[in-house]
Structure 1
Amino acid sequence: MQTRFFLVVEPSIKGFFLPLKGAFEVLTPEEFPGRLSRAKEEGLRRLIVHALPKDLLAILRRLASRFHEVEFIWANEDAPKVTVETLALLSEANEPQKIEETSFEIISSLVDLASYPPELRPIILRLIHATGDLTFPQTLLIHPQAVETGIELIHSGYDILTDVEMLRSAINERRLTRWGGRVLCGLSEISEPPSGKTRTEAAIEKVLSENPKVGIVAIGNAPTALLATIRHLRENPRKILVIGLPVGFVKAAEAKLLLSLQPYPYFTNLGPRGGSAAAAAVINALLRLSDGQTSA
């Protein structure tokens, strides 16, 4: 028997949910009766209904009372049974590649990618995919030569330096090593940073000072590491791409604004949003572009 899961929420909450694929649907109380009528026409005989907030439950029960031929499982009242049923719905086999393709289809249906230059579209897609935030691209500040320089540096075998191990491990190093580059993070080499400095700040300074082969610096966590990068490059210019997407409420927005004033290529954004996932999305998109893959 085919089962569907209806999450019924107040209109103010519905906007938090992007379109759901498969057996799950998000409705408002006003949409619920019409959807039940269509469900009956579709031959659905079992519906799991979850009310959020729970105060809606009495209203939904009253609306559902006219549909005698449908079995209703009320998630708010029968959690164990709902867990079994819902796990079955979510356990349908999905190939990893198909999951990613479906994600990109959803994003493409919600975002006007035509408004971005062609070389940026794969990066925009991966940023949204990594962050789950459709508005993230609206905050971006991107140097005109950022993509071109990134691909050139990758093709020339330059290394990528990250501020934290989380970001380092999220980068597809296999693609980079084909061109002769490595992904580096100097954090493990700093047990005790100098007085007044963070470990990430000291690690960035150390690697940049010792390794002239670093061509891309990616910051996804520490604003102090981004500030250290800007300071070092001011005194020691080199061919570079800086991906500055630190997350946080202390110095993150300020450091990114300062990065946007620099003469060398950069990817950054306005405000406190960012993170290792966002920085890795930019790097991995550049690596795919370097291999000639123009799609996300």
Structure 2
Amino acid sequence: MIPLEHPILLASFAHIDRTVGLHNLSPQEYAIARRVIHSTADFDFLHLLRFAPDLAKAEFDPDLPENQVIANGEKSLRQGQTIVVDVNMVKQGIQGLVQRTFNNPIQTAIDFAPTATPGKTRTETGMDHCITQFPEAIYVIGNAPTALLTLCQAIAVGEARPALVIGVPVGFIGVLEAKKTLSTLPCPQIRVEGNKGGSPVAAGIVNALLMLACQEC
């Protein structure tokens, strides 16, 4: 059963649709962009979201429609894949809809690190533990660029094989570097270009994927 959307949310979506008008995104890409715009009231995200590698049929299921990154993300959610988030704010933003849909386990990296390893942040330390325990999870990073960079390094050497990486940390220090590193990897990914991002953006992307996955059921 597809969870019912609140009437206020639907009215907000209608307002966004009228404001956006014509666009070049696929229906699935736009569904994600619209949810992010709703979460942030920032229409820049219509142009900042990146879905890669798009339509790489040699690496994805050729029978899935349109954007293969999104389609495979939906499939992983329907199959109950673990979701690893960097901070609790992302978890708070997705757990309600997760529980109403596929009830995927949610793990929070920072909870795995009561204290940080010397020279590392807590999220970076926690991400190390999550990679070891959940190498094929869906990884959602909305706050900590150090956590994203740690994940990218693990992917590069084959220690992590995530079903999907949502890499949207926000800020100025280390953010551009972490996103650029992610962009060079062949793993399925949804990211935001530039300094913008954040936990509401990360949660919005996951919630949009959950609704798309429900519609495909």
What TM bracket, shorter-length normalisation?
Answer: 0.7 to 0.9
Match of 2:28 in 1: 119
The one-letter code of the counterpart of 2:128 is E
Match of 2:62 in 1: none
The Cα offsets for residues 217-240 of structure 1, whole Å up to 9 and x where unpaired, read as 000000001001101112214242
Q: Distance in 2 between matches of 1:124 and 1:185?
A: 24
**Greater percentage in strand:** 1
Match of 1:129 in 2: 38
> Which secondary structure state, in structure 1, belongs to the residue aligned with residue 153 of structure 2?
helix
Computing the radius of gyration from Cα coordinates, the structure with the larger value is: 1
Q: Distance in 2 between matches of 1:186 and 1:222?
A: 10
- The answer to whether 1:274 aligns with 2:197 is yes
Tell me the CA shift for residue 177 of structure 1: 7.3
Q: Which shifted more, 282-291 or 238-247?
A: 238-247
Q: Distance in 2 between matches of 1:174 and 1:268?
A: 21
- The answer to whether 1:159 aligns with 2:82 is yes
Q: Distance in 2 between matches of 1:230 and 1:282?
A: 19
Tell me the CA shift for residue 273 of structure 1: 0.5
**Change in CA separation of 1:264 and 1:273 when aligned onto 2, cut-off 3 Å:** same
Bigger relative contact order, structure 1 or 2, given CA contacts below 8 A and separation 6+? 2
Tell me the CA shift for residue 148 of structure 1: 1.4
> Which secondary structure state, in structure 2, belongs to the residue aligned with residue 116 of structure 1?
coil
Work out the percentage of aligned pairs sharing the same amino acid: 34
Give the alignment partner of residue 285 of structure 1, picking from 172, 187, 208.
208
Alignment of 1:56-205 (within 5 A): 97-112=6-21, 114-143=23-52, 144=54, 145-175=68-98, 178-179=101-102, 181-205=104-128
Match of 1:224 in 2: 146
Q: Distance in 2 between matches of 1:215 and 1:192?
A: 23
Q: Distance in 1 between matches of 2:126 and 2:98?
A: 25
The one-letter code of the counterpart of 1:241 is L
Q: Which 5+ residue runs of structure 2 have no aligned equivalent?
A: 55-67
Q: Which shifted more, 235-244 or 157-166?
A: 235-244
The one-letter code of the counterpart of 2:169 is P
The one-letter code of the counterpart of 1:117 is S
Tell me the CA shift for residue 173 of structure 1: 4.8
Match of 2:172 in 1: 249
**Change in CA separation of 1:112 and 1:259 when aligned onto 2, cut-off 3 Å:** farther
For this pair of structures, how many residues does the alignment match? 198
Match of 1:47 in 2: none
The one-letter code of the counterpart of 1:227 is L
TM-score by length of 2: 0.84
> Which secondary structure state, in structure 2, belongs to the residue aligned with residue 258 of structure 1?
helix
Q: Is the 8 A contact 2:94 2:207 kept in 1?
A: yes
TM-score by length of 1: 0.63
Tell me the CA shift for residue 211 of structure 1: 2.6
> Which secondary structure state, in structure 2, belongs to the residue aligned with residue 187 of structure 1?
helix
Q: Is the 8 A contact 1:160 1:184 kept in 2?
A: yes
The one-letter code of the counterpart of 1:183 is I
Tell me the CA shift for residue 122 of structure 1: 1.1
Q: Which 5+ residue runs of structure 1 have no aligned equivalent?
A: 1-95
Tell me the CA shift for residue 117 of structure 1: 0.7
Q: Is the 8 A contact 2:97 2:210 kept in 1?
A: no
**Change in CA separation of 1:102 and 1:270 when aligned onto 2, cut-off 3 Å:** same
> Which secondary structure state, in structure 1, belongs to the residue aligned with residue 139 of structure 2?
strand
The Cα offsets for residues 74-108 of structure 1, whole Å up to 9 and x where unpaired, read as xxxxxxxxxxxxxxxxxxxxxx9232122111111
